[in-house]
């Protein structure tokens, strides 16, 4: 490793808590530090932010980040500050005093990253006068292209950035893969020579599943029931659907809310906030929801309707599982949606393109081979191995000879003179006696009722399969009536064989026993989750800004009880160790004592480190001396003492904290804002008592009980 490599890894661990770069991150970061422009294409959740946040820490001067949404800026700035990286944002909603204050801080070099909405670009001139701008990042860069799916006119002004600062590296980032948009971005931002960094679009932790839309509300209720406490989003096509579904979920006892562009701005931002803070874990939304949200613990995404293209679909499911943990996605497929989407597409400016995209979406929804491979090939990647994490891989369809069913269906269409849509044909074949049949005396025709032995749902499914295989067609322009074609004749008159697949009963299949509602006090993860929420609430942060679910799981599994071990957890950097380490370690120790659980054996043999510290202690060395001797931080040595003490080894903690201080802390316990958070004591004592002393005092008090 070169010195630069070592520095990059150290910065990644110290500030973000991660051990390794994801593919391309290091290349992009190195290239930006070397002053080159970059165009970064990575899927949603792929890890684009670190590509400019890490260089921002290392470069002198300021990194300017252009980002389209206020909610996104605030979330990112909160996350950065929680990692000890000074950042701020400017948007049109702020007052002049706030803005002057930011200029002052920038002048002093007290801000490393400044987020700016494209509407606030006027601010740029002021900034460039008071500081050196070392790097410019344009996030969600597809917003600049009218070919992209989320065009924002204000973004087109960004072309002047490169003209004003031709020597400052500029990085444009987006999850939009299509080539036309990509090149449009590079041209408009005037970085046509930029290095292209295109990462794989595979998000292996997302499971993929498509289900027929019948009974979808019941299916959704059952699904959500099986995942209490988990966050998810249901995307719907219409505002009304979002509200109806949210109501239905609320009636079933879930915390859910609707979100769409027709709601007042304050309601929308409140809903978004409640989602981020896990108070409302389920959102039923139109596509307007989600781009501004980097919530890392979204565990599932449901598409109530078929999306209009694969780009949008992939971006939406990409909002699940940013923390890398397994997450589920379900798409409900119905022909009514296809009909409606076709109508939208036909009314749009780019009819041909839109219809072609819809067709690709349909092919995906109706696939009988690995779905992930279809997605990846759409994004230009070749994948041949089956993924093992999609419904087709997990339950390969079982085919049977469906020739007789096909013949019955096609004769039915013929008898009805190709004049009826799908559901009337189903009714007719099943011998229904409703108005659609009786008004036209269809009950008198031949083939009426020939398929009464097949359930309504199943027959509809078979007919959809027949359409997909091209055995007859839907005339979208003629009230969606069904029409026969050449292939129909082959089946009816020339003995052509047809294969169909058995429909799966999802409602039944999904009624697995819901996850046991394990009592929080019996489960370390749950207890740590509660602690995380308390700490986050006290600081006005989202829980995942304290630790992501992935990090919390790692803590619960590894059960670190020293600072050293705590720091080894993926997702724990220096700042988070300092802010939260003690609180989490205390909770783990308490849990271990109650359960008399043996601490998890460490692979790397660091678990005896505290015993080595003990040897020095017995020789009479102070914390500082031992730290120096062992090449560790005083904090770590202190955590060793805490562990020794908790293990019942004779350590006199009063060597490190006076009796008077212990009494002061005991007294403070009933007065501080949050008696579980070290920081509360620190503030309470006006920073006069250091963290180490508070920590020791609390350990002594805890052990007296
Ligand atoms: P994007 O902007 O590409 O949608 P983000 O930058 O928000 O994605 O990153 C998604 C998640 O991945 C975040 O929770 C981030 O902290 C995490 N992440 C990024 N890089 C790494 C890494 N090298 N190791 C582990 N997690 C990472
Ligand atoms: Mg992003
Ligand atoms: Zn698969």
Cβ proximity of 575 and 82 under 8 Å: yes
Q: Whose CA is nearest to atom 18 of ligand 1?
A: 47
CATH of the domain at 494: 1.10.10.10
Cβ proximity of 245 and 303 under 8 Å: no
Residue 513 has pLDDT above 50, yes or no: no
For 336-346, the pLDDT digits (tens) are 899 899 988 98
pLDDT grade, residue 597 (50/70/90)?
low
Is the CB of residue 42 below 6 angstroms from any atom belonging to ligand 1?
A: yes
553 Cβ contact list (under 8 Å, min separation 6):
325, 525
Nearest CA among 16, 64, 15 for reference residue 171: 64
Q: Which residue has the higher pLDDT, 313 or 69?
A: 313
Q: Whose CA is nearest to atom 25 of ligand 1?
A: 18
Residue 598 has pLDDT above 70, yes or no: no
Residue 349 is assigned to a structural domain of this protein: yes
**Same domain membership, residue 551 and residue 408:** no
**Same domain membership, residue 341 and residue 420:** no
3-state secondary structure 17-54: CCCCCCCCHHHHHHHHHCCCCEEEECCCCCCCHHHHHH
User: Among 207-221, 401-415, 451-465, 613-627, whose mean pLDDT is lowest?
Assistant: 613-627
Distance CA 334, CA 304 (A): 9
Is the CB of residue 391 below 6 angstroms from any atom belonging to ligand 1?
A: no
Q: Give phi and psi for 473, each to the nearest 5.
A: -135, 160
Residue 513 is assigned to a structural domain of this protein: no
Residue 272 has pLDDT above 70, yes or no: yes
Residue 578 has pLDDT above 70, yes or no: yes
Cβ proximity of 55 and 33 under 8 Å: yes
**Same domain membership, residue 64 and residue 132:** yes
Domain of residue 474: give its range.
399-503
The total number of structural domains in the chain stands at 4
Q: Which residue has the higher pLDDT, 597 or 131?
A: 131
230 Cβ contact list (under 8 Å, min separation 6):
281, 299, 300
545 CA distance to ligand 2 middle (Å): 15
Report the percent of the chain where pLDDT is more than 90. Answer: 57
Residue 370 is assigned to a structural domain of this protein: yes
Is the CB of residue 76 below 6 angstroms from any atom belonging to ligand 1?
A: no
Q: Give phi and psi for 475, each to the nearest 5.
A: -90, 95
Mean pLDDT of 313-334: 93
409 CA distance to ligand 2 middle (Å): 49
Distance CA 230, CA 525 (A): 14
674 CA distance to ligand 3 middle (Å): 48
Mean pLDDT of 678-684: 84
User: Among 150-154, 299-303, 499-503, whose mean pLDDT is lowest?
Assistant: 150-154
CATH of the domain at 529: 1.10.150.80
Residue 166 has pLDDT above 80, yes or no: yes
**Same domain membership, residue 652 and residue 552:** yes
Q: Which residue has the higher pLDDT, 518 or 484?
A: 484
Q: Which of 20, 40, 44, 47 to mutate to test the pocket of ligand 1 (most atoms within 8 A of CB)?
A: 47
**Same domain membership, residue 453 and residue 564:** no
Q: Which residue has the higher pLDDT, 260 or 512?
A: 260
174 CA distance to ligand 2 middle (Å): 8
Is the CB of residue 176 below 6 angstroms from any atom belonging to ligand 1?
A: no
Residue 509 is assigned to a structural domain of this protein: no
Residue 508 is assigned to a structural domain of this protein: no
Residue 194 has pLDDT above 90, yes or no: yes
CATH of the domain at 45: 3.40.50.300
Mean pLDDT of 458-486: 88
Q: Which of 39, 49, 139 to mutate to test the pocket of ligand 1 (most atoms within 8 A of CB)?
A: 49
322 CA distance to ligand 3 middle (Å): 20
Q: Which ligand has an atom closest to residue 9 CA?
A: 1
Three-state DSSP class for residue 676: coil
Distance CA 346, CA 352 (A): 8
* Domain's final residue, options 350, 377, 394: 394
**Same domain membership, residue 192 and residue 54:** yes
**Same domain membership, residue 634 and residue 554:** yes
Q: Whose CA is nearest to atom 12 of ligand 1?
A: 47
- Name beta bridge partners: 482: 474
Residue 515 is assigned to a structural domain of this protein: no
Is the CB of residue 45 below 6 angstroms from any atom belonging to ligand 1?
A: yes
pLDDT grade, residue 514 (50/70/90)?
very low
Residue 61 is assigned to a structural domain of this protein: yes
Nearest CA among 332, 43, 16 for reference residue 176: 43
Mean pLDDT of 42-64: 94
**Same domain membership, residue 282 and residue 182:** no
Residue 604 has pLDDT above 60, yes or no: no
Minimum-distance ligand 1 atom for the alpha carbon of 175: 3
**Same domain membership, residue 267 and residue 189:** no
* Domain's final residue, options 143, 177, 198: 198
pLDDT grade, residue 519 (50/70/90)?
low
Residue 599 has pLDDT above 70, yes or no: no
DSSP structure class, residue 397: P
* Domain's final residue, options 355, 376, 394: 394
For 100-123, the pLDDT digits (tens) are 899 999 999 999 999 999 988 888
- Name beta bridge partners: 302: 234, 330
Report the pLDDT value the prediction gives residue 378, as an integer from 0 to 100. 85
**Same domain membership, residue 548 and residue 675:** yes
276 CA distance to ligand 3 middle (Å): 31
337 CA distance to ligand 1 middle (Å): 34
pLDDT grade, residue 515 (50/70/90)?
very low
Residue 235 in tokens? 């995307």
Residue 74 has pLDDT above 80, yes or no: yes
Nearest CA among 545, 570, 548 for reference residue 18: 570
Cβ proximity of 64 and 116 under 8 Å: yes
Q: Give phi and psi for 600, each to the nearest 5.
A: -60, 135
For 407-416, the pLDDT digits (tens) are 999 999 999 9
Alpha helix segments (H runs only) across 131-264 = 159-164, 179-188, 216-225, 239-251
Residue 520 has pLDDT above 70, yes or no: no
Residue 147 has pLDDT above 80, yes or no: no
User: Among 2-16, 23-37, 635-649, whose mean pLDDT is lowest?
Assistant: 635-649
- What sign results for the dihedral spanned by CA atoms 109, 110, 115, 120? negative
Q: Whose CA is nearest to atom 20 of ligand 1?
A: 47
Q: Which residue has the higher pLDDT, 674 or 226?
A: 226
Minimum-distance ligand 1 atom for the alpha carbon of 294: 7
Is the CB of residue 290 below 6 angstroms from any atom belonging to ligand 1?
A: no
Q: Whose CA is nearest to atom 2 of ligand 1?
A: 48
Report the pLDDT value the prediction gives residue 517, as an integer from 0 to 100. 45
Report the pLDDT value the prediction gives residue 38, as an integer from 0 to 100. 97
Q: Whose CA is nearest to atom 1 of ligand 1?
A: 45
Minimum-distance ligand 1 atom for the alpha carbon of 46: 3
Mean pLDDT of 367-391: 87
pLDDT grade, residue 521 (50/70/90)?
low
**Same domain membership, residue 385 and residue 403:** no
The mean predicted confidence, pLDDT, of the chain is: 89
Q: Which ligand has an atom closest to residue 11 CA?
A: 1
Q: Whose CA is nearest to atom 5 of ligand 1?
A: 47
Tell me the whole-structure pTM to 2 decimals. Answer: 0.72
**Same domain membership, residue 565 and residue 593:** yes
541 CA distance to ligand 1 middle (Å): 18
Residue 528 is assigned to a structural domain of this protein: yes
46 CA distance to ligand 2 middle (Å): 8
Is the CB of residue 21 below 6 angstroms from any atom belonging to ligand 1?
A: yes
């Amino acid at each position: 490793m070169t010195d630069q490599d070592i520095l990059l890894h150290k910065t990644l661990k110290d500030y973000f808590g991660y051990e390794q770069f994801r593919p391309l991150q290091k290349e992009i970061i190195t290239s930006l530090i070397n002053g080159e422009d970059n165009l970064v294409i990575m899927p949603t959740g792929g890890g684009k932010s670190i590509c400019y946040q890490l260089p921002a820490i290392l470069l002198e001067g300021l990194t300017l980040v252009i980002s389209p949404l206020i909610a996104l800026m605030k979330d990112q700035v909160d996350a950065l500050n929680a990692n000890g990286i000074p950042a701020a944002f400017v948007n049109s909603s702020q007052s002049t005093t706030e803005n002057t204050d930011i200029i002052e801080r920038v002048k002093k070099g007290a801000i490393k990253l400044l987020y700016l909405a494209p509407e606030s670009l006027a601010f740029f001139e002021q900034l460039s006068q008071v500081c050196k701008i070392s790097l410019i990042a344009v996030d969600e860069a597809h917003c600049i292209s009218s070919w992209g799916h989320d065009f924002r006119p204000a973004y087109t002004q960004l072309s002047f950035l490169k003209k004003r600062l031709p020597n400052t590296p500029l990085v444009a980032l987006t999850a939009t893969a299509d080539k036309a948009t990509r090149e449009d971005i590079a041209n408009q931002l005037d970085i046509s020579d930029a290095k292209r960094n295109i990462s794989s679009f595979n998000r292996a932790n997302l499971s993929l599943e498509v289900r027929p839309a019948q009974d979808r509300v019941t299916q959704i209720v059952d699904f959500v029931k099986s995942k209490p406490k988990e966050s998810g989003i249901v995307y719907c096509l219409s505002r009304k659907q979002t509200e109806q579904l949210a109501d239905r979920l609320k009636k079933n006892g879930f915390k859910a809310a609707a979100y769409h562009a027709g709601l007042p701005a304050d309601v929308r931002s409140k809903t978004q906030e409640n989602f981020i803070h896990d108070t409302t874990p389920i959102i039923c939304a139109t596509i307007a929801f989600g781009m501004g949200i980097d919530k890392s613990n979204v565990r599932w995404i449901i598409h109530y309707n078929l999306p209009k293209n694969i780009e949008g679909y992939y971006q939406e499911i990409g909002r699940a599982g940013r923390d890398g943990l397994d997450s589920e996605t379900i798409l409900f497929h119905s022909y009514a949606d296809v009909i409606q989407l076709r109508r939208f597409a036909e009314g749009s400016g780019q009819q041909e393109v839109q219809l072609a995209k819809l067709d690709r979406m349909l092919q995906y929804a109706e696939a009988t081979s690995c779905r992930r491979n279809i997605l990846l090939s759409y994004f230009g990647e070749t994948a041949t191995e089956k993924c093992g994490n999609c419904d087709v891989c997990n339950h390969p369809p079982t085919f049977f000879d469906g020739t007789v069913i096909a013949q019955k269906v096609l004769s039915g269409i013929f008898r009805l003179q190709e004049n009826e849509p799908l559901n009337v044909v189903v009714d007719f074949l099943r011998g229904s006696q409703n108005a659609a049949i009786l008004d036209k005396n269809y009950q008198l025709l031949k083939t009426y009722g020939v398929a009464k032995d097949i359930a309504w749902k199943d027959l509809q499914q078979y007919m959809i399969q027949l359409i997909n295989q091209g055995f007859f067609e839907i005339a979208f322009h003629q009230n969606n009536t069904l029409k026969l074609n050449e292939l129909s004749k082959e089946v009816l008159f020339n003995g052509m064989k047809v294969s169909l697949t058995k429909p799966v009963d999802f409602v039944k299949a999904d009624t697995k026993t819901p996850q046991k509602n394990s009592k929080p006090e019996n489960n370390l993860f749950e207890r740590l989750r509660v602690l995380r929420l308390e700490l986050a609430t006290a600081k006005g942060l989202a829980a995942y800004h304290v630790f992501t679910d992935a990090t919390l799981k790692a803590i619960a599994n590894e059960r670190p009880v020293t600072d050293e071990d705590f720091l080894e957890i993926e997702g724990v950097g220096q700042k988070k160790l300092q802010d939260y380490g003690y609180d989490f370690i205390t909770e783990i120790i308490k849990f271990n004592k109650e359960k008399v659980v043996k601490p998890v054996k460490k692979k790397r043999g660091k678990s005896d480190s505290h015993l080595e510290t003990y040897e020095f202690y017995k020789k009479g060395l102070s914390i500082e001396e031992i730290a120096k001797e062992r090449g560790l931080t005083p904090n770590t040595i202190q955590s060793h003492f805490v562990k020794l003490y908790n293990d019942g080894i004779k350590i006199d903690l009063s060597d490190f904290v006076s009796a008077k201080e212990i009494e002061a802390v005991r007294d403070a316990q009933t007065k501080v804002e949050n008696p579980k958070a070290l920081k509360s004591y620190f503030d309470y004592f006006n920073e006069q008592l250091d963290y180490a002393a508070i920590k020791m005092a609390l350990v002594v008090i805890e052990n007296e009980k």
